[in-house]
Chain A
Amino acid sequence: MQLERHSVEQKLENRFDLFTDSMSRETGADFNGRWRGAVAVLSLAFLVLMDAPAYAAKENMTAREDYIQAPLPAGFQVLVTEIEGPVFADANGRTLYKWPRRDLRVGTVGDVEFKASCGDQIFRETAGSMSPYPPGFELPEADTRPSCNQVWPPVLASDNAKPVDKWTVIDRPDGRKQWAYAGAPLYTSFLDKKPGDVLGASKTPASVDEGAPREPVGPEANVPFQFSVDTTKLGRLVSLRNGKSVYTYDLDSRHKSNCAGACMDGWAPVLSADYARPVGDWTTFERSPGVKQWAFKGMPVYEHLQDSKLLSLDGGDIAHWRNVYTQKAPLPPAGFVVKETSVGLVLGDERGRTIYMYSCLDDSFDHQLCDHPDAPQAYRFAMCGNGDPDQCLKAFPYVIARAGAKSGSATWSTMYINPKTGKRAQSSDPGALNVWAYRGRPVYTFAGRNGYGDETPLDLKAQNWGEFNGRWNGYRAIIYRDLYGRRDL
């Protein structure tokens, strides 16, 4: 690995020469001087994410998470998806979602156990869920607004469907029957077009100011009881149940720990009970007489004693140590970079400019998504250009995909957009832009307004740009490693 790193770093250094030269040419700024130090630190990020062949070989990008096999009703299946890991899907491969009830700033929305609140009613006015605005205003594109069930079709059950394990059948207000899992009524998303799509929502936790999003539903990860697995932008990250990340050590070998003596000052083996039995990819071995340690795919696992944050990646900064993932998230397409900023590792375009996503839930009782190009664009236009689509194109330009660009994953795609409407277009439409999209949503950079915009690779000046700190309706950077977003241990 050290030899690999050495050669990779040399390549990266060369790449940085090109990068800084390019930045200097493009901007007129002295990127080889003033910003050289800033961009040079990106080398680690390139090593982590951008040198795909070496990284993929070492990290096993094709690994997929093991899950607990449990009985399923007929017609359902488990699909192991790129970002969310294993999810339940119907017979057509459509991912299943739930809508957990949540308290908002004003009122509550979502399903309670065994009761579906997403129905056929079409809401045309605001609910006033988010202070300080009152309810009762006509929603954008109210005349053509779909019902909740049109965008979140319920997973219907036949009249003679029988409960299986955690799967139950509930009665809907309209008299039909609907499947529920662990008490949560189940839906599919009209955004998911092919098996493996999870475009309706993510398992990533949302704050109160992000409204009440749906969540994909899936089986439990097949890990020993003391571990858990969380969705992160880098992959499905393994931690202890208290949130402490676990790591493996490159200098170990199968069921053989080489971390002893001074090494133990910084690292603690994750011990197993004497009676623990292997679980999926997890085994135990005797690290010293009478002391058993857990191993993932044969490699002993440890805690990093200096980690102070939940789901920390800090231990992985130390040579030979790496976080444990059940599966890694797809690499960004060629041409993107991952860079170091004051908040962590952030995605950038080929010139190092921060990449932003737009997120939005509308203020209705059924809380429809307004963050994708099939939804009304009035929300986004308000934030990106004070309602003016042309201003939006200047302030938050799309990231244009070159002709024939391929992502190599389902997570990243290209799509045609009508720049005037912000909605999908056909490739043959005059003026249509071919843009990059992450999880089915276009991505943007921030040129800004009145001299305020991202100027250097360090900038993320549009982070939290929008209503309710950009969480309710606004822009947020794609952060691969969030140094401060997780709460303390």
Chain B
Amino acid sequence: MPLFNSEDDMNTQSLKSRKPSTRLCLMAGAAAIALCGSGSFVRAEGSDTAPPNRSIAYTFYDLRWAIHETKDTKEECPDGLAIVGPREYFKLKFPEDGTKRTQKETELAMEGEVFWPNTDPDTTHFRLAGGKTAPGLNLDGKTKPTDFTSPDGKPGVDNELFRVIGCIGNYRSGAVILTYDMQHYKQSTSVRSLIEVTDVDSLVNDDDVTVTTYRGRDILQVDASANSFAPGASQRLDLRWGKEFISQAKGKIVNGVLSTEPIKELRIPDESLAFISGSVERMRDARFELKLTPDSAEGVIAGYADLETFYANRARNWSSHHLSYASQTQQLVYKQLRKFADAYPDPKTGENTAISSAFKVKMIETRILRSEKEVAETKGEPSSSQFASDSSRAGSPK
């Protein structure tokens, strides 16, 4: 895919909005395109060259809660994976002993409990994840005895959510539900998250960059293998319906790894199973740590997940039927979430309302396609690819 769209690059309005250095690049003609454009940059892995227009964007194509997994589960789940799912829990509560029962006291009570969980003691021997390793980041700046070490050896990792969900099959690689979720994640534009990194002088080392999150509007471009995605595909920003997903943080790039300052509350659309629930993950003090290449980005987003939001999103997105695939009983998970929540105490009760956590995320490089109207409204730094949108030809979007 060519770096510059000729229509855009000859667009006077776009040109005017660019920084002087960029303007010079563009005005210098074909020779400058070779220097400033993707021809030399995009495919040069590890190149210490500024991306065109000092910005680069990536679209998420895989987002999952970060847990540590070994093949035989022995390291993180020495007792094995969870075995008490909705069917088993139902039998524990209502044994087949000949008692005549009502739907209200059985099925409806079970389902009611999913949406109205409690912290009564759990007698099912919930299987918690443990060990010393977990993906994530050091959120509180401390290294405590209970903290994990990241897979690449960094101490002080805060990821209490891993303890709660790490031994539940639905969160682990190969799980049916996770597979469904990731299919939906790749296919639906309702969850099309992306980031734009601006003020980038080097994709290897730059101590001052800006990261902005958005929701996109377009499908992902599958590459010729049909198994992965092609870098360089365009993505329009959802500036109308997706306003709540826009956030911004300052960051730096060190040895090709982007780290950001915490975002007070990061909102990420996170639906599953193609049931449009409008569910949004809310992560406080969220920060990115991503290994960047010109074609892709991969790493973690870590912060404190809002406990009730995390729980309710699962209950809304995954029915008891689906949770039965891998022995996940929602109301039992809740008890552990409350137990391991480690941040943002409620001022009235003192109980923590958020839990340290992380997402593992994979992204593919993307060209943001802005309409002329959006370009005109951009008062700060222009993005890397401000192409005139096709829709703007037919009339101004309302």
Known: A138-B102, A266-B390, A306-B390. A466 touches B111 (CB 8 A): yes
Instruction: Determine the distance from Cα of A432 to Cα of B337 in the docked complex, in whole angstroms.
Output: 39
Instruction: Determine the distance from Cα of A484 to Cα of B279 in the docked complex, in whole angstroms.
Output: 13
Residue on B nearest A395 in the bound complex, by CB: B116
Residues of B within 8 A of A466 (CB): 111, 115
Task: Check if B280 sits within 8 Å of A469, measured CB to CB.
Answer: no
* Cβ of A132 under 8 Å from chain B: yes
A247 to chain B, nearest CB (A): 11
Residues of B within 8 A of A451 (CB): 308, 346, 353
- In-complex Cβ contact of B111 among A126, A266, A343, A382 (8 A): A382
* Cβ of B312 under 8 Å from chain A: yes
Residues of A within 8 A of B316 (CB): 463-465, 469-470
Q: A126-B107, A342-B280, A378-B108 are in contact. List 14 more A-B contacts (CB 8 A).
A: A41-B240, A132-B87, A132-B321, A137-B103, A137-B107, A138-B100, A308-B219, A317-B398, A319-B396, A343-B278, A387-B108, A458-B243, A461-B279, A461-B309
Task: Check if A344 sits within 8 Å of B241, measured CB to CB.
Answer: yes
Instruction: Determine the distance from Cα of A403 to Cα of B71 in the docked complex, in whole angstroms.
Output: 65
Known: A318-B398, A340-B240. A483 touches B190 (CB 8 A): yes
Instruction: Determine the distance from Cα of A321 to Cα of B309 in the docked complex, in whole angstroms.
Output: 39
* Cβ of A38 under 8 Å from chain B: yes
Residues of B within 8 A of A461 (CB): 279, 309, 312
Instruction: Determine the distance from Cα of A460 to Cα of B278 in the docked complex, in whole angstroms.
Output: 7
Residues of A within 8 A of B380 (CB): none
- In-complex Cβ contact of A318 among B102, B110, B243, B394 (8 A): B394
In the assembled complex, 21 residue pairs joining A and B whose CB atoms fall closer than 8 Å, in A order, are: A44-B398, A137-B107, A138-B100, A209-B319, A262-B393, A265-B393, A266-B393, A266-B394, A308-B219, A341-B241, A342-B280, A344-B241, A378-B104, A378-B108, A383-B111, A387-B109, A458-B243, A463-B277, A465-B115, A469-B319, A484-B189
A353 to chain B, nearest CB (A): 14
Instruction: Determine the distance from Cα of A466 to Cα of B394 in the docked complex, in whole angstroms.
Output: 43
Known: A318-B391, A318-B394. A467 touches B111 (CB 8 A): yes
Task: Check if A137 sits within 8 Å of B106, measured CB to CB.
Answer: yes
Q: How large is the interface on B (under 10, 10 to 19, 20 to 34, 35 or more residues)?
A: 35 or more
* Cβ of B324 under 8 Å from chain A: yes
B333 to chain A, nearest CB (A): 15
A51 to chain B, nearest CB (A): 14
* Cβ of B288 under 8 Å from chain A: no
Instruction: Determine the distance from Cα of A470 to Cα of B278 in the docked complex, in whole angstroms.
Output: 13
Task: Check if A382 sits within 8 Å of B396, measured CB to CB.
Answer: no
Task: Check if B321 sits within 8 Å of A105, measured CB to CB.
Answer: yes
Instruction: Determine the distance from Cα of A265 to Cα of B395 in the docked complex, in whole angstroms.
Output: 11
Instruction: Determine the distance from Cα of A433 to Cα of B36 in the docked complex, in whole angstroms.
Output: 68
Task: Check if A132 sits within 8 Å of B108, measured CB to CB.
Answer: no
Q: How large is the interface on A (under 10, 10 to 19, 20 to 34, 35 or more residues)?
A: 35 or more
From 266 to 280 in chain B, residues with beta carbon under 8 angstroms from any chain A beta carbon are: 269, 273, 275-280
List A residues at the B interface (Cβ < 8 Å).
37-38, 41, 44, 105, 126, 130-133, 137-140, 142, 209, 262-263, 265-267, 306, 308, 317-321, 340-344, 363, 378-379, 381-383, 385-387, 391, 449-452, 458, 460-461, 463-471, 473, 477, 482-485
Residues of B within 8 A of A469 (CB): 273, 275, 277, 316-317, 319
Task: Check if A484 sits within 8 Å of B188, measured CB to CB.
Answer: yes
Instruction: Determine the distance from Cα of A461 to Cα of B244 in the docked complex, in whole angstroms.
Output: 14
Instruction: Determine the distance from Cα of A41 to Cα of B278 in the docked complex, in whole angstroms.
Output: 18
Residues of B within 8 A of A452 (CB): 308-309, 312
A389 to chain B, nearest CB (A): 12
* Cβ of B242 under 8 Å from chain A: yes
List B residues at the A interface (Cβ < 8 Å).
86-87, 90, 100-104, 106-113, 115-116, 188-190, 215, 219, 240-245, 269, 273, 275-280, 308-309, 312, 315-317, 319-321, 324, 346, 353, 390-391, 393-398
Residues of B within 8 A of A139 (CB): 102-103
Task: Check if B276 sits within 8 Å of A482, measured CB to CB.
Answer: yes
Task: Check if A485 sits within 8 Å of B390, measured CB to CB.
Answer: no
Residues of B within 8 A of A340 (CB): 240-241
- In-complex Cβ contact of B394 among A44, A265, A342, A391 (8 A): A265
Instruction: Determine the distance from Cα of A391 to Cα of B116 in the docked complex, in whole angstroms.
Output: 10
The 7 closest A-B pairs by CB, nearest first: A266-B394, A386-B116, A452-B308, A382-B112, A382-B108, A484-B190, A137-B103
Known: A131-B321, A137-B106, A342-B241. A387 touches B112 (CB 8 A): yes
Instruction: Determine the distance from Cα of A445 to Cα of B102 in the docked complex, in whole angstroms.
Output: 29
Residues of A within 8 A of B101 (CB): 137-138
Residue on B nearest A259 in the bound complex, by CB: B394
Residue on A nearest B269 in the bound complex, by CB: A342
Residues of B within 8 A of A465 (CB): 115, 312, 315-316
Residue on A nearest B189 in the bound complex, by CB: A484
A305 to chain B, nearest CB (A): 8
